[in-house]
Chains A and B, each alone.
Chain A
Amino acid sequence: MHTSSTRAVTTADSGRRGLGRTGAGAPAPGGTARRSGGRWRTPLLFLLPFGVLFIAMYLVPIVFAFVQSLFTLQRSGLGLEAPTLDFTPLANYTRLLGDTEFLASLGRVALFGLVQVPVMLGLALLLALLLDSRSARGKGFFRLAAFLPYAVPGVIAAVMWSFLYSPVTSPINTLLERVVGTGIPFFAPEIVLWAVANIVTWGWTGYNMLIIYSSLQTIPAETIEAARLDGAGPARIAWSIKIPMVRPALVLTAVFSIIGSAQLYNEPKVLQTISGGAISNTFTPLMAAQAQVTAQNYPYAAAQSVVLALLVGVLSFTFFKLTNRGER
């Protein structure tokens, strides 16, 4: 399964293309009747509606933001005249490099990702292995229970958890106080990041678990049976056979979870109003950039957005390349 899947990775494209060609021992589809011009025109027409909107809603805004980031807003000393835009290509980016709050927000989401992603994926993997084990009963129910949080929109989940965290209303703390004698101050400055992490973990563990679980399901029964006949116990089978075989699924979920951390916004934004100041306006990079937009500091907000998109892009492609190479 491992090798075949990796082969599928690298040859997915060429394979399909090859199929198109061989399928056209008769002429290739699209190139049949109208060989001149028709080859191009039909796919172009098919792609056009999507392509136009894609360019308008993805490429144009980024280019526009980039251009805007090259200017700075000059407000006149007394604020009586309309502010003017000056072309100062590096000013915003220099400012950004010295913006301690923005840099701190980057550090915060990096820390968040370093801790939350392994915890969540470890949990997802453990649950997937338990579900896949021979001892599991009631699989349908547990699978559904884990997936249920995915049906709750991120911000609604955050609203819900804000009540569970609130010092005034928290049923969790009422319960803890009764059992352990003390509650958890969810909005204490050193805890609030992990309160946010819990909401994200709650929302996405089941989703990742199902991806890993469906990958576990593709392991051939004979492989596991052979290991069992060799005397391997369930833990040994999980460690030496199952986990290596679901590695592609683990890498996939890891990449997208890391990207998810970089765009952290919804949960902290919702908790902000009741956090008593523990969550600042610049808690995450996206919140920082949004704060600049709200302050109508558009060129600087544009610079932050461009840098963020670039960082996430580089992050994605690095992982994509690394994992692709590793597979080969």
Chain B
Amino acid sequence: MTAPTLESATRLPRSDRPDASRPRRSNREANLASRLGVFALLGLSAFYFIMPIWWLVVASTKPAGHQFSEPGLWFDGFGLFENIALVFAESDGIFGRWMLNSVFYAGVSAVIGTLLSALAGYALAKYEFRGRGVVFGVILAAVLIPKVMFTLPLFLLFNQVGLLNNPLAVLLPSIVSPFGVYLARVFAAQSVPDELIEAGRIDGAGEFRIFFSIGVRIMSPALVTIFLFQFVEVWNNFLLPLMVLNDSALQPVTVGLVGWAGSNGQVPAGTVVVAALLSVVPLIIAFLGLQRFWRAGLTAGAVK
């Protein structure tokens, strides 16, 4: 069941295609009352989804120490820049370090992970070999059991081999993305024509050469999607870095910020509010800027 839905997800959603597929709807047909009703319900939902983020933005712009002043959902004075400076000055500037750590963990894992997923997915799609079904079955099984279930066993293992408090303890598990392999296999099967591979062989190119010069090039939009999903997954990861990293200078921003939030007022609540906003800004920009790629991989993302 997963398989088809995932595959249909990799097709472009119809909203991206010209709207000719559906006959033009006549505005007159939908009467005003139902239009207002639909608009009211959608508006209510939009309020629910946006309100907390709106509150975060508004609170962050209020002067330092007045984050919770009335009115809660509207502006009152301006201290955004001062607040940002306070966040970066707190605890010897550790916040900037956390952000960089997150970029590092998510970036490195997603780059290497996408490459490994592309190689594996391409092989599963384009080569016939004995055991292919078994390999793919194991990967599918891993997709179905969420990664977080492996976190405590990973901790126990790393504790045994002395890998705790080492960036590798976050990087190594984060690189592995069975879901990425799944996507890459679907994408490769759909988009890389066997004739091109055959033509490459006739020209005398080796298999890896063919993969890098033909496969990767054709799959590149799909690889961006795989990269994005993995990047966000690693960026959002909390339990793994929480368990395997003790040194605050190594922690990503999720772990650091939750530490601040639970510090019982040692770090002012206002600073935590502004830091929370700062930590989601890069992701929101990435979302707005790369909407096309999100939509392409959207249904597929449900597997996480």
Residue of A50, A145, A151 ringed by the most chain B CB atoms within 10 A: A50
By a CB distance below 8 angstroms, the chain A residues around B139 are 54
- Contact yes or no, A252 B5, CB < 8 A: yes
The answer to whether B145 has its CB under 8 Å from any CB of chain A is: yes
Cα distance A249–B4 in the bound complex, in angstroms: 10
Cα distance A103–B251 in the bound complex, in angstroms: 32
Residues of B86-142 whose CB lies within 8 A of A: 116-117, 119-120, 122-130, 132-133, 135, 139, 141-142
A276 to chain B, nearest CB (A): 12
Residues of B19-64 whose CB lies within 8 A of A: 21-23, 25, 29-30, 34-35, 37-39, 41-42, 45-46, 48-50, 52-53, 55-56, 59
- Contact yes or no, B146 A259, CB < 8 A: yes
- Contact yes or no, B302 A252, CB < 8 A: yes
By a CB distance below 8 angstroms, the chain B residues around A61 are 150, 153-154, 156-157
A146 to chain B, nearest CB (A): 5
- Contact yes or no, A234 B34, CB < 8 A: yes
Cα distance A133–B139 in the bound complex, in angstroms: 38
The answer to whether A8 has its CB under 8 Å from any CB of chain B is: yes
By a CB distance below 8 angstroms, the chain B residues around A164 are 52, 55
By a CB distance below 8 angstroms, the chain A residues around B8 are 5, 8, 215, 218
- Contact yes or no, B37 A135, CB < 8 A: yes
By a CB distance below 8 angstroms, the chain A residues around B75 are none
- Contact yes or no, B302 A256, CB < 8 A: yes
Cα distance A16–B125 in the bound complex, in angstroms: 8
By a CB distance below 8 angstroms, the chain A residues around B15 are 214, 217
User: What does DSSP make chain A's interface, helix, strand, loop or mixed?
Assistant: helix
Cα distance A202–B261 in the bound complex, in angstroms: 20
Residue of A nearest to B197 (CB): A29
CB within 8 Å: A-B pair count: 347
Task: Give per-residue flags for A105-147: 1 if the beta carbon is below 8 A from chain B beta carbons, else 0.
Answer: 0000000000000000001001100110111111001101111
By a CB distance below 8 angstroms, the chain B residues around A72 are none
Say which residue of A62, A136, A211 sits within 8 Å of B42 (CB atoms).
Answer: A136
B181 to chain A, nearest CB (A): 6
- Contact yes or no, A156 B254, CB < 8 A: yes
The answer to whether A265 has its CB under 8 Å from any CB of chain B is: yes
A100 to chain B, nearest CB (A): 21
B-contacting 9-mer, from A36-44, A78-86, A88-96: A36-44
A16-B189, A160-B276, A293-B152 are contacts. A202–B1 as well, Cβ < 8 Å? no
The answer to whether A181 has its CB under 8 Å from any CB of chain B is: no
- Contact yes or no, A31 B128, CB < 8 A: yes
- Contact yes or no, B46 A290, CB < 8 A: no
Cα distance A209–B211 in the bound complex, in angstroms: 36
Cα distance A62–B154 in the bound complex, in angstroms: 8
Cα distance A155–B262 in the bound complex, in angstroms: 12
- Contact yes or no, A54 B178, CB < 8 A: yes
Interface magnitude class on chain A: 35 or more
- Contact yes or no, B123 A248, CB < 8 A: no
Cα distance A199–B236 in the bound complex, in angstroms: 15
Residue of A nearest to B17 (CB): A217
- Contact yes or no, B261 A270, CB < 8 A: yes
- Contact yes or no, A312 B145, CB < 8 A: yes
By a CB distance below 8 angstroms, the chain B residues around A208 are 302
The answer to whether B272 has its CB under 8 Å from any CB of chain A is: yes
- Contact yes or no, A60 B1, CB < 8 A: no
- Contact yes or no, B299 A46, CB < 8 A: no
The answer to whether B258 has its CB under 8 Å from any CB of chain A is: yes
A106 to chain B, nearest CB (A): 14
Task: Give per-residue flags for B293-304: 1 if the beta carbon is below 8 A from chain A beta carbons, else 0.
Answer: 011001101111
The answer to whether A68 has its CB under 8 Å from any CB of chain B is: yes
- Contact yes or no, A46 B38, CB < 8 A: no
- 10 nearest A-B residue pairs (beta carbon): A171-B72, A46-B123, A65-B153, A61-B153, A30-B127, A221-B22, A273-B262, A8-B4, A153-B236, A316-B144
Q: Can you list 27 A-B contacts (CB < 8 A)?
A: A12-B4, A19-B189, A30-B129, A40-B129, A51-B135, A57-B173, A58-B142, A58-B150, A64-B156, A127-B41, A127-B42, A133-B38, A137-B38, A147-B287, A152-B280, A153-B283, A156-B279, A159-B258, A171-B55, A211-B299, A214-B295, A252-B1, A256-B302, A269-B258, A293-B152, A301-B156, A312-B149
Using CB atoms and an 8 Å cutoff, list the residues of chain A in contact with chain B: 5-6, 8-9, 12-13, 16-17, 19-20, 23-24, 26, 28-33, 39-40, 42-47, 49-51, 53-54, 56-58, 60-62, 64-65, 68, 123, 126-127, 130-131, 133-138, 141-142, 144-157, 159-164, 168-169, 171-172, 174-175, 202, 205-208, 210-211, 214-215, 217-218, 221, 225, 234, 248-249, 251-253, 256, 259-260, 263, 265-266, 269-270, 272-274, 286, 289-290, 293, 298, 301-302, 304-306, 308-309, 312-313, 316-317, 320, 323-324, 327
Given contact pairs A5-B5, A133-B34, A215-B5, a sample of 13 additional A-B residue pairs in the complex whose CB atoms are under 8 Å apart: A5-B4, A23-B194, A24-B194, A40-B130, A54-B139, A65-B153, A153-B254, A153-B283, A160-B52, A163-B273, A171-B55, A202-B49, A313-B145
